[in-house]
Amino acid sequence: MSPEAGGENRSPETAAAPDAAGFSHPDTLAVLAGRRSGGAELAPALFCATTFRIPSLDAGRRMALDAAESRYYTRNGNPTVAAFEEAMATLEGAEAARAFASGMGAVTGVILGLCSSGDHIVAQRQLYSGTQFLLQSVCPRFGIDVTFVDGAEPGAFQAAVRPGRTMLVFAETPANPRLDLVDLEELGAITGPLTAVDSTFAPPCVTRPLDYGVDISLHSATKGIGGHNDATLGVVSGSADLIASLWGFAVLQGANAAPFDAMNGLRGLRTLAVRVERQSSTAQQLAEALSAHPGVESVRYPGLASHPQHELAQRQMRMFGGLLAFDLAGGHEAGERFVDAAKLAQAATSLGGPETLVTHSASTTHAGLAPEELEAAGIGPGTIRVSVGLEHSDDVVADLLHATELATASFA
């Protein structure tokens, strides 16, 4: 392959890398995918260049309009970013992917890249607050109508579709922060509008929405996919035609992924499956321990038989993930005490990294919601979200049970 076509110089002694296409397990694909250059390097290569030399005017014209071109201008594409996109598409079972500068960059790119004035969106009430604000505050300014439904209610999405007008059905599963689930098979069966799933809480080693007929899978790859709290990324996966159609808006939007973040995201993918397996195991142990504590009113974790959609979780999740939520007796005061009392677990709003993080949802991730909106989302004054890290499970459980005891001693 010539340099003009984006090829790499390879030593004739360099052995060919294993072909990811010959394997199907997500654990293996996470290790093999995205080795775009075909070189001998095992770590991701960083292309920090913003600009690339154009070999000719004719080539430049082609490159400027090519969604797959990674050596023209980094807002359009970049070799490091393209390797991350290729890896994500492989893991998702998709034809193509587009990386963004953040999860909200990806959400905004999908919603505003697909919908125009006069269009209609169906979305669930149980959403990350940033997505909710975009849908309920920004979309109406552009003449885009949005109907919110209970994503856990069977048939709710389909019932709200307006034939000929609904452009997009948008879901999030498991939903932030109470881990409500959406039936992906039911969602994928909807015909007419495009369907999109924010699967941030369930990376590809847990769930692949496209396997159920969903059109678009998106992630805040800042979270579990990057996995080390050092990359701010979003990514959208789907058919080649769909990603190509989003590419044009994404270039104008300008929320392109930085090469350094894409490199860290690609590095994070290599250990994704083993990290999530460890986090899921600890989260299950923690959820069971909290369920038995008198100061805890309820626990939400898909791996518990008490989760109202446990059977659905067993059908569409390979693992149950490292996120859980619970409600403390004592409301806001108990929540404040809990966050202060935790010693190993740290108070922070992200998730999916090596450190166990605790979040009082009403005060942080969903602080901008009105009381009635918090209630509709199932977020109470004592709701705590936990992102389980990679510490020893006994230490995580002991720390959070101790914090729970101190927080609820006068309320339980």
Beta-carbon contacts of residue 305 (< 8 Å; ≥ 6 apart): none
Q: Is the pLDDT of residue 275 over 80?
A: yes
Q: Is the pLDDT of residue 3 over 70?
A: no
The first and second tokens of residue 183, run together, are: 């039936």
365 confidence band (pLDDT: 50, 70, 90) = confident
What string of DSSP letters covers 102-134?
SHHHHHHHHHHHH--TT-EEEEESS--HHHHHI
**Mean per-residue pLDDT, 403-412:** 91
Q: Is the pLDDT of residue 38 over 80?
A: no
CA angle 45, 47, 51 (to 5 degrees): 165
Q: Is the pLDDT of residue 300 over 60?
A: yes
Residues 337 and 360: beta-carbon distance below 8 Å: no
Q: Is the pLDDT of residue 355 over 70?
A: yes
CA distance 197 to 237: 10
CA distance 187 to 232: 29
φ/ψ (deg, to 5) at 68: -95, 0
**Mean per-residue pLDDT, 380-391:** 95
pTM for this one?
0.92
Q: Is the pLDDT of residue 6 over 70?
A: no
Torsion of CA 298, 303, 305, 311, to 10 degrees: 130
CA distance 372 to 349: 22
1 confidence band (pLDDT: 50, 70, 90) = very low
To the nearest 10 degrees (0 to 180), the angle between helices 331-341 and 393-408 is: 140
pLDDT at site 8:
43
Of the candidates 182, 166, 88, 72, the one whose C-alpha atom is nearest the C-alpha of residue 126 is 182
Please state, rounded to an integer, the average pLDDT across all residues of the chain: 92
Per-residue pLDDT tens for 160-205?
999 999 999 999 999 999 999 999 999 999 999 999 999 999 999 9
11 confidence band (pLDDT: 50, 70, 90) = very low
334 confidence band (pLDDT: 50, 70, 90) = very high
pLDDT at site 367:
77
Per-residue pLDDT tens for 134-152?
999 999 999 999 999 999 9
Report percent pLDDT > 90 for the chain. Answer: 83
376 confidence band (pLDDT: 50, 70, 90) = confident
23 confidence band (pLDDT: 50, 70, 90) = confident
pLDDT at site 17:
59
pLDDT at site 366:
76
**Mean per-residue pLDDT, 234-259:** 96
pLDDT at site 41:
84
Residues 130 and 105: beta-carbon distance below 8 Å: no
335 confidence band (pLDDT: 50, 70, 90) = very high
Beta-carbon contacts of residue 225 (< 8 Å; ≥ 6 apart): 88, 203, 219, 233, 235, 265, 268, 269, 272, 352
78 confidence band (pLDDT: 50, 70, 90) = very high
SS3 (DSSP) at 256: strand
**Mean per-residue pLDDT, 339-347:** 96
What string of DSSP letters covers 158-218?
HHH--TTTEEEEEEESSPTTT-----HHHHHT--SSEEEEE-TTS-TTT--GGGGT-SEEE
374 confidence band (pLDDT: 50, 70, 90) = confident
CA distance 237 to 14: 31
Of the candidates 299, 106, 332, 310, the one whose C-alpha atom is nearest the C-alpha of residue 219 is 106
Give the count of beta carbons closer than 10 Å to the beta carbon of residue 245: 15
In what helix (H) or strand (E) does residue 238 lie, and over which residues does it extend?
Answer: strand 234-238
Domains for the chain: give ranges and CATH numbers: 3-270 (3.40.640.10), 272-408 (3.90.1150.10)
Give the count of beta carbons closer than 10 Å to the beta carbon of residue 258: 18
Q: Is the pLDDT of residue 319 over 60?
A: yes
**Mean per-residue pLDDT, 375-399:** 92
pLDDT at site 241:
96
Lowest mean pLDDT among 6-20, 249-263, 398-412: 6-20
**Looking at residue 367, what DSSP letter applies?**
T
Per-residue pLDDT tens for 255-267?
999 999 999 999 9
**Look-up: residue for tokens 């392109």?**
256
Report percent pLDDT > 70 for the chain. Answer: 95
Q: Is the pLDDT of residue 231 over 70?
A: yes
Q: Is the pLDDT of residue 412 over 70?
A: no
Residue positions annotated with a catalytic role? 75, 128, 198, 223
Of the candidates 377, 382, 389, 370, the one whose C-alpha atom is nearest the C-alpha of residue 408 is 382
Q: CB-hemisphere CA count at 13 Å for 41? A: 13
The first and second tokens of residue 193, run together, are: 């509008």
